[in-house]
Amino acid sequence: MAIHLHRSDAMDAHFRSLVQQLDADLDDRYGSQQDFYGQFNALDSIKYVVVAYEAEEPIACGAIKAFDAQAMEVKRMFVQKQARGKGVATQILNELEDWARFLGYAACILQLAGNQAEALALYHKNGYRQTANFGQYIGDEDSICMRKEL
């Protein structure tokens, strides 16, 4: 079955449903530690969303939001368990990067918790490199921040 990507915004009902699944997964992984990170994931600041569909069903999502005049921050990346290992996350990431380029940004940045080996591998495979922690993650030893020049 082919994967179809759809650009939208944070009001998209499918995106919001996938984000609820993401938040539940993160709560299971990190418990109360997730409360700290959750405060930086408000959907009202996200304008650029990609939802992936397989057989008309939403299976994955990702988003970008402006961090500064040069960089977009990758946010809310999630792939449902049954859809993992099919390259969907890379497709979404590529679409988000294309969108950021179109909008005139020179880089994408992101943050992830240090114990997300699968996410770290995904971002390395797609050209992201670890950088100094930025913004609210400065001084947070559990965060890994990454950057890719577009």
Q: Which domain holds residue 82?
A: 3-149
Which pLDDT band holds residue 115 (cuts at 50, 70, 90)?
confident
Over 60: is that where the pLDDT of 123 sits? yes
pLDDT digits (tens, 9 = 90+) for 50-72: 999 999 999 999 999 999 999 99
* 58-96: b (≥16 Cβ within 10 Å) or e: bbbbbbbbbbeeebbbbbbbbbbeebeebebbebbbebb
Domain count, the chain: 1
CATH of the domain at 76: 3.40.630.30
Look up residue 45 and give its DSSP letter: G
